A and B are shown apart, each in its own frame.
Chain A
Amino acid sequence: MIEHFDLTMVNWARAQFALTALYHWFFVPITLGITWIIAFYHSIYVKTGSEEWKRLTKFWMKLFGINFAIGVATGIILEFEFGTNWSNYSWMVGDIFGAPLAIEGIFAFFIEATFFAVMFFGWDRVSKGFHLFSTWMVAVGSNLSAVWILVANAWMQYPVGQAFNPDTARFEMQSFTDVALSPVAVSKFTHATSSSMMLSSFFIISISSWFLLKGRHVKMAKRSILVAAIFGILSSAFTGFTGDRAAYEVAQQQPMKLAAFEGLYDGERNASIVAVGLLNPDKKIGDDQDAFSFQIRIPGLLSFLADRSFDAFVPGINDLVFGNEEENIMGAEQKMKHGKIALASLDTYKEEKKKGNEAAANAALSIFNQNKEHLGYGFLTKPEEAVPPIGLTFSAFHIMVALGVLLPVICLAFLFFSFKDTLVEKRWLLGLGTLTLGLSFIASWAGWIVAEVGRQPWAIQDLLPVTVARSNLTAGTVQTTFFMFLVLFTILLVAEIRIMMKQISIGPEEN
């Protein structure tokens, strides 16, 4: 397959998708998280009637509006790319993705858009209660939109509730609830939204810290930080909890990804987690070299993370590539045999159908059904192709976790000095606070790299590799649109930052 397909095209299409998703993810996490914090600010205003809280709410609402306006519809480009660069994939999953994406468009976006207008235009025009309700509904609607996209993404990682129909060449939905409520979908949604809430807390802390460093809008900045720090700590705790759940699901459904997280080549019981480590760049799959040049490990934690038992066996990359009879693990080599049988039987089915030979077609279909679980492996030319890029996955995972530990500590410091009312004096902390937004984005992007690079080579886990998911286009075509997007998105990002900076420098409206 590698010789057969234009890998350059596949890599450019992947790069284009990554670029678009990365830019899209500049805007989305702020939208998802800040709406909740604004709803809290708004609630405090309604409860206290204080004009100060009203100004504060309006200020953060304005920044949310800028982010929303610049970011809106950037996700549509991802859908364009599906149809153009990934047409085989789009065709195959149309039946599965159609329902969740339609629900998103009709239901969640409708709620969001309706209440959005009331939230912005409703000051002194509608009752305070309805206005506040609308603000909360914007938060609910934004997050409901995210549900369906994340359900679709989760299905690619754990394709449940489907059956492949060889007559339509499509994965067809058998159970909507299995797709929508799969454990991977639940953990993906909760982890993505809680980490976005965390990021939004740091968006507020970062800007408010800048105000305090400049000695401007001190009262508003201190109040903003107090609520954002509490929200940040709560969402950090929830992010940790959901992250643990997500890792458990990865261990169950995508063990190769988990092995790549930890650079684990040889599986073991009481497997340790790498607290700090430097991968050996010369290490190859199946050789005897050490995987790490340097490492500090925490014994037993990986086994506990993967199977809730310190004694559990965690398969390594070598076990998953070459198999491990002792632990009853089928290797990629064996799965390739099943995959090739599945593909050959599909071909036979197609030919016999053409000839009108129903009995032979049904026999071929029966063989396909016995082997379809490993369909995607049939496209691989060697078992090592089932391994994702280990260095990138390992680094991204450890950066995400390290920042996920550091950021709540910073949040705690903000909360502590807020209660002591000495925040303004702690200029070192305020300086650090201004950096937290950048750190949060790095953590968030690293999380997506972990999820998406870690599942390579699959577009649909175990069923369809990215090399078969692509369209039959030349690399040049994709390169052209890649650079067009780079220019377009950079202009949008510069526009967002300039408008946002201007509004931040103006600050909240004076009475």
Chain B
Amino acid sequence: MDKETVETISYLARLRFDEDNKEKITKDLENIIEFVDQLESADTSDIEPLANPLEKTAKTRSDEITAENRKETFLKNAPDSNKDYFLVPRVVE
């Protein structure tokens, strides 16, 4: 783990750290990754990954409309919106 890697993953996660914090977070991540590196000791050849303890396939339901349109309710929670859309700074000039 180095500062450059931290910068890359920070960007992937859309997070930013100031210089002081960057050093601390790099150190923390290094320790945590070193800690989880213990996993290497397990023999996992031919072991299927377990993604979910239930291991059940999600059930499908019939393709019917079950929810009403609550556009106004949801737009009310937006930091910025007009009557139809969420608003963000202009993307295309």
Q: Do A and B come from one complex?
A: no
Interface residues, chain B, with chain A CB atoms under 8 Å away? none
